[in-house]
Every structure is written in C-alpha cells, then in structure tokens.
Amino acid sequence: MVKLAHDNDPRHSTAQKRAPMTHPPDENELRDLLNKAKQPAADAMRGHAYYQGKMATLPKCPVRGMEDFSIWYSPGVAAPCQAIADTPAKVYDLTNIGNTIAVISDGSRVLGLGDIGPQASLPVMEGKCLLFKYLGGVDAVPLVLDAHDPQDFIETVLRLQPGFGGINLEDIAQPKCFEILDRLREAARIPVWHDDQQGTATVTLAGLMNALKIVGKAKHAIRLALIGAGAAGVACARLLFAWGVDPAKTIVVDAGGILGKHRTDIGVFSPAWSLCQTTNPEGITGGIPEAMAGADVVIAFATPGPGVILPEWVASMAPDPVVFACANPIPEIWPWEAKAAGAAVVATGRSDFPNQVNNALCFPAIFRGALDVRARTITDEMCFAAAAALADWGTADLDADHILPPMTEMAIYPIQAAAVGIQAQTQGIAQVLMSYEQLIDRAEAMIGAAQAATDVLMNEGCIPPFPED
C-alpha cells in the first residue's frame, strides 16, 4: 500500500502544533498580517503563468512500446466497447468513469470576485480538481459553461452524465444555485454536490460539534445567530437543523436585516423564505447586534471584515460564546478581539489562525466514499457521517484552539471516506458493498498513489520547481 504523505504521526503534525497568533497585534504585526494575506495572490500570478495552469492528463496504464496501442486503442479497444454496449454497468469495470468527476461552474459567483464569467473562473476549477486529486485520489475535470440560465445549465449537466461518476458544482450565484442543485439531485443518475453549500455546511457542523464539547452546551439548547443567508448560510442552516439545532432558537440575518415573518420583501421562491417561516418565532427585528444578543453561537458567512462584527456584540452573547467568523480573506472580527470580548472558542476561514473552517477538510473524502460504493446521491446523512468522523478525529487534541484537525492530517480523509461509504450502504443508495476496512484501504491506496505520483513528477523534473522571485 502506498503511504500517505505526512503519515509518520498523523495525529500530531507540525501544522497542528504551531503557535498561531491569538494576541492583539501591534501596528507592525498587523501590517505584516495584512501583507501575508496578500502574498498568495502574488505567488498565484507568478505560479499560474509559469506552469500555465495546474492540471494535466496522464496515463494510468503502461505503454511498453507502440504495439501496446493495439490493446489500448484499435483494434483491441473494440472488445471492451462491445462489452459495455451489451452490459452498460461494465463501464465501471472497464473505464475510469468510477473515479472521474466534473467540476462545473458558470463563473457567476467566483470567490469574492462576483460574476466574472466562465473562463475567468477556470483557475478556481483547476484548483478544485487539484484538491480532489491530492486529498481524495479523485480524477476531476474542470468544465466551465457559457450557460447562465438555470435551465440551460441543468440540461447541459444532465447531458454530461454518461462520461462521469459524479458532479461537483462550484461558484454559482444564488438564488439559482439552490434551484440547480435541487433539480439536478432529483434528476441525475449520479451524485451531484455543491461544495459552496454542502461542503461548507459539513465542515462547519464538524467544528460546531467539537466547539459545543468545549463549552459544554447541547445542540438542541443553543441559541444560534447565523449571519449571512447566501449559499453557505442557507446550507448551514438546513444541515444544522437536520442535525438537531432548534430553528425556533435561531436568528438569521441577511443584507436586509433579521429574517422572520415580518420580512415581506422576501418572496416564497427565495431560499430565505423558509427560514423566515421557521426561525425567529419571537419576531425580533434589527440586524447583527440584535441577532447576537444572548446567543450561544454565532456563525458568520458575511462580507470580509474586520468590523462586520464588533467586540461589544460578542460581549452581549451568552456566557462562553462560540464565534465562527468565516469570511475570507479577513474574518468579520479579528480572533483576538472576539477572545477579548469573552468568546470561548473562535474559528475563522484562515489557516494562520486557530480553528480553520475549510471545506477542503471534507469534500475530497466525501466524494471518495461516494464513488467507492457508487452511491446514487450524497445525502445529508452522509454529510453527518463525514462531520462526525472529522470531529471525532479532532478530539485527539481537543481544546479551544484545536476543534478541527488541519488539512495536513492525512488520516482524516480515509476515515471520512469510509464513514460516508458505510452510511450510503446503510441508506440503501450504494451499488457496491464494501466493509469499513475495505473502504479505508481503498481510500488510503487511491490518495497515497496520487500523492506519490506528484512526488515522482516533481523529483523527476516533470513538474519543475516553483519559480522564485
């Protein structure tokens, strides 16, 4: 079996034991922090130009000589083609479809850039494919569509199904992202997943599971303030409510203020409409400060800060509050400000602060597990299984600054994949039956092979060193 990278002692990686900044920085430290936040963009421009992208196509079969093409192509290839024509399910045995997904976007909501169009979104889609391969062993193909109408988008994706084992939707504007996901999940024969919704919600749930252990509060009893009703916020609400958080103890805030039945500006076809009906039964009005008053937990997917959430609003929360400030590149409130205001646990979307909430912790593994058992869809219960596995691994070093393992903990991906595969079988949506041990072994082999192949390409100079300044 190929060993995973960083596999010598995965529960105690150097990344998890680093000492992130938790104190209020002085003026020079704050300047350095902001400059550090800008550095990846400069490196990205240099690296993307040098490598001309991030993904390429490589063979997985041997080519011992030109005569092998008579096996892999004509005339030999006619035999597997005919076998698939006679028995369509054999496509999973005779091609790579079972390990191949499409990463699809129309470029209508890219990172913090907005509607920049399909071609401009291609670097993000390639990056997603790289994460799928390196962290999940999944072969992913970036596809950007000139199809901004939801119906056109849906029809195009459905027509692509014969060539893929699954679909990852990416960077699609709301509200159409909700319609596209719901309709595709209903109509498609293969799993369709929107990472901005389901992936973000899953890793947020995992973090909250462990944060509540730290503060000793029960999921059904907490008062939750959810700041932001976009794709991430709406998906988090749905998953958290299904897990057991009480919608009647939840206040949701969008750009227009607190949601509730008083919000006549929200139509019945908006995803926020259902939140207006199920949350805030007391009819509280106002904005973020009113939503946070007395809350046990605030989860924010709002505009980048700082200053979107103020320290005095954290101070108005219940004792030992949990603050997830997940905007990038700058969180809605600096972690040291939230801590000084009384927060017991603070999480952000950044790797240089404690408790990074990053959907890359889960989406490669969830697809790995779904593909390995050939699941027909990815259910909320499969997300719960992944979140529970991730949270359980995080308890190895659980404290207020370590509620989630970092991405360098390579063991978290196989265990989530196995949990997802078992859950799919439990729900009767798997077409292949595998034991937990078999799922672990396959995930470790697939991920390990992807990482080993990358190392070989780098060591042999096929991937040249990163360009220096």
Residues 6 or more apart in contact with residue 25 via CB below 8 angstroms = 32, 33, 336
Residue with tokens 């992208």: 53
- The answer to whether 73 is a known catalytic residue is yes
Number of H helices, E strands in the chain: 18, 10
Which residue among 36, 38, 50, 73 is the active-site one? 73
Burial code (b: 16+ CB inside 10 Å, e: under 16) for 109-131 equals bbeeeeeeebeebbbbbbbbbbb
Residue ranges of the alpha helices (H) in 52-116?
69-72, 78-86, 91-94
Rounded-to-integer distance, Cα 82 and Cα 96, Å:
17
345 backbone dihedrals φ, ψ, rounded to 5°: -135, 130
Query: What is the Cα 330 distance to its own chain's centre?
Result: 19
Rounded-to-integer distance, Cα 32 and Cα 325, Å:
21
Which residue among 128, 133, 176, 217 is the active-site one? 128
- The answer to whether 249 is a known catalytic residue is no
Indicate if the alpha-carbon torsion angle 171, 349, 99, 87 is positive or negative.
negative
* Beta strand residue intervals within 212-362, DSSP E: 224-227, 250-254, 257-258, 297-300, 322-325, 345-348
* Beta strand residue intervals within 79-156, DSSP E: 100-105, 139-144
The token duo for 36 is: 């550090």
Q: Is 113 helix (H, G, I), strand (E, B) or coil?
A: coil
Q: Which residues are catalytic?
A: 73, 128
